[in-house]
């Protein structure tokens, strides 16, 4: 370990092999930091935080502070960061409440400067949040989603896998998997074809995804009716992921403009 002489590290904190702690960092008790993680100057890691291996917490980020929720009564909860995740300057990630008990950010994520991840959020793997993106409480973001800069995401909203959200968007509806969302009010803007190609999806898979969304958005049917028709489409993992997401949505999905 390499701990700067001006860092304040509680003796009960558990630090893995090769952890680097910069000057003026504060690390509380009841903190665990995985091997190879680096924490830059001025960052604060609060009680209840669990940080994985080979992460990089940049200057003045705050991880694991108490929720901004008036129902919070000081209960023991967690903020969990996966492996290989980068948290940039002035990011704030709050720990959970009694509702779920933990806030989670997965592996291989990039959380850019000034972003906020509120209490009880669950952020999947390979997620990118661009500068100043804001997640309210209990938001779920699935794997490989990209949230544009300055986007504001309403509490209890879900963002599907491989989604691309426009910068500055106001997200108050669920965003189904594999699609792009933009405009005000937020709306479906087509399948995220470029992102899917980059991640190895074939043209046939992308065409099948587009067929599902044509059924949902262009058939003239309501959501319940369109889901019945989606079940009749050729079977595929992507079809099932979309079907289960839409059927399980409690806030309702974005509509086509």
- Which pTM was predicted? 0.96
- What tokens appear for 113 in the block? 């400067």
Residue range 93-116: mean pLDDT, rounded: 98
DSSP the chain: -EE-TT-EE-TT-EE-TT-EE-TT-EE-SS-EE-TT-EE-TT-EE-TTEEE-TT-EE-TT-EEEEPPS-TT--S---EEEE-TT-EE-TT-EEE---TTTSEEEE-TT-EE-TT-EE-TT-EE-TT-EE-TT-EE-TT-EE-TT-EE-TT-EE-TT-EE-TT-EE-TT-EE-SBB-TTEEEETTTTEEEEE-HHHHHHTT--HHHHHHHHHHHHHHHSSS--HHHHHHHHTTSPP-HHHHHHHHHHHH-SS-B-B--
Return the active site residues: 119-120, 137
Tens digit of each residue's pLDDT (9 = 90 or more) over 162-207? 999 999 999 999 999 999 999 999 999 999 999 999 999 999 999 9
Q: What is the pLDDT at residue 1?
A: 79
Q: What is the pLDDT of residues 44-80, one digit of tens each?
A: 999 999 999 999 999 999 999 999 999 999 999 999 9
Alpha-carbon distance of 94 to 204, in angstroms, equals 41
| Spatial separation of the C-alpha atoms in residues 78 and 157, rounded to whole Å | 21
> Average model confidence (pLDDT) for the chain?
97
Q: What pLDDT digit, counting tens, does each position of 218-233 carry?
A: 999 999 999 999 999 9
What share of the chain in percent tops pLDDT 70? 100
């Amino acid at each position: 370990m390499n701990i700067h002489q001006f860092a304040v590290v509680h003796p009960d904190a558990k630090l893995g092999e090769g952890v680097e702690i910069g000057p003026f960092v504060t690390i509380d008790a009841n903190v665990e930091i995985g091997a190879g993680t680096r924490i830059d100057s001025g960052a604060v890691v609060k009680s209840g935080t669990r940080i994985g291996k080979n992460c990089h917490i940049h200057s003045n980020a705050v991880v694991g502070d108490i929720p901004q929720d008036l129902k919070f009564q000081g209960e023991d909860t967690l903020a969990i960061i996966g492996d290989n995740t980068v948290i940039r300057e002035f990011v704030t990630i709050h720990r959970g409440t009694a509702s779920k008990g933990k806030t989670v950010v997965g592996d291989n994520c990039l959380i850019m400067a000034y972003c906020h991840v509120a209490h009880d959020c669950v952020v999947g793997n390979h997620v990118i949040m661009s500068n100043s993106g804001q997640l309210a409480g209990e938001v779920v973001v699935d794997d490989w989603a990209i949230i544009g800069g300055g986007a504001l995401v309403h509490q209890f909203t879900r963002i599907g896998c491989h989604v691309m959200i426009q910068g500055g968007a106001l997200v108050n509806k669920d965003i189904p998997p594999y699609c792009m969302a933009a405009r005000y009010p937020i709306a479906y803007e087509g399948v995220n074809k470029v992102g899917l190609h980059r991640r190895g999806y074939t043209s046939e898979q992308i065409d099948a995804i587009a067929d599902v969304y044509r059924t949902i958005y262009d058939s003239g049917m309501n959501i319940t009716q369109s889901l019945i028709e989606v079940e009749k489409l050729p079977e595929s993992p992507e079809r099932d992921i979309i079907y289960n997401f839409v059927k399980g949505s409690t806030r309702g999905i974005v509509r086509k403009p």
